[in-house]
Amino acid sequence: MASEPTAAAGAPAPQPAAPRRRPPWASYLRPLLAAGFDPIVPDLLFFGDSCTLAADRSEVFQATAVKAAMDAIGVRRFDVVGVSYGGFVAYRMAAMYPEAVDRAVMVCAGVCLEETDLAAGLFPVAGVAEAAELLVPSRPADVRRLVHLTFVRPPPIMPSCFLRDYINVMGSDHNQEKTELLHTLINGRKLSDLPKISQPTLIIWGEQDQVFPMELAHRLERHLGEKSRLVVIKKAGHAVNLEKDKEVCKNIVEYLREPILSALNGEKV
């Protein structure tokens, strides 16, 4: 933003498989700029052109990498906005760097999930391996299933030739590493291990999200308490940032334009 940039913490995990070539954040740039923000949209490791030789696949390592990038361009304080997997990284940035992150926006980011939720039937998959197969698709049939899970109104026609082209052009890079990211994210995950961030946090969720069901939104709201605010978007699923991009963007802009109380003197800034 004009005084403190907004860093959107990368692309979501499942949605790169949605069959569209336009970057999922493209429709947000003009409204954010018009509102006086300076959006910075880094590619997370193994998404876009970002990669590493390091073996660490944790969201902590991802958060460290994004913070290093912000330091490299001289940005010391900012807000974070994260969608799906990007929200896991944004949350970790807020926890690890409270002196740098002023506010957080979590869009369908299931940070409160536990590994036991898979076996309990909260998700459309029953194990980590099946989740990886779904979220890192390699066949047209896998892409179709993912799109039908993430969109309330998926495209009525998705030709296999188009989906193969999408997989070859946009969805085939770093599949092994992305699978490792998912395993690291889910294996042994417990809500009791999740730190409680201190920043004001906006939680945005698609009411019909099947990837990260609404239960996870309410868990996060309870976990964060009075500093959080939950906005539920009607007639939208996990791809709420694509299906209802104008509504999501409006909520983000309005939230980040609100004054916040200075922790030092209680004054609005």
Question: Within a domain: residue 268?
Answer: no
pLDDT at position 32, please? Answer: 94
Q: In this predicted model, what pLDDT tens digit does every residue of 83-107 receive, in sequence order?
A: 999 999 999 999 999 999 999 999 9
Question: Within a domain: residue 115?
Answer: yes
Q: Tokens at residue 199, please?
A: 């920043």
Question: Within a domain: residue 17?
Answer: yes
Question: Within a domain: residue 47?
Answer: yes
Residue ranges of the chain with pLDDT lower than 50? 1-3, 10-20, 262-269
CATH assignment of the domain containing 122: 3.40.50.1820
Q: Tokens at residue 69, please?
A: 């990038």
Question: Within a domain: residue 265?
Answer: no
Q: Tokens at residue 124, please?
A: 């459309």
Question: Within a domain: residue 266?
Answer: no
The domain in which residue 136 lies consists of 6-257
> Which residues are within 8 A (CB) of 121 and not within 5 positions of it... i.e. 6 or more apart?
none
pLDDT at position 4, please? Answer: 54
pLDDT at position 165, please? Answer: 74
pLDDT at position 137, please? Answer: 80
268, 259 in Cβ contact below 8 A?
yes
Number of domains in the chain: 1
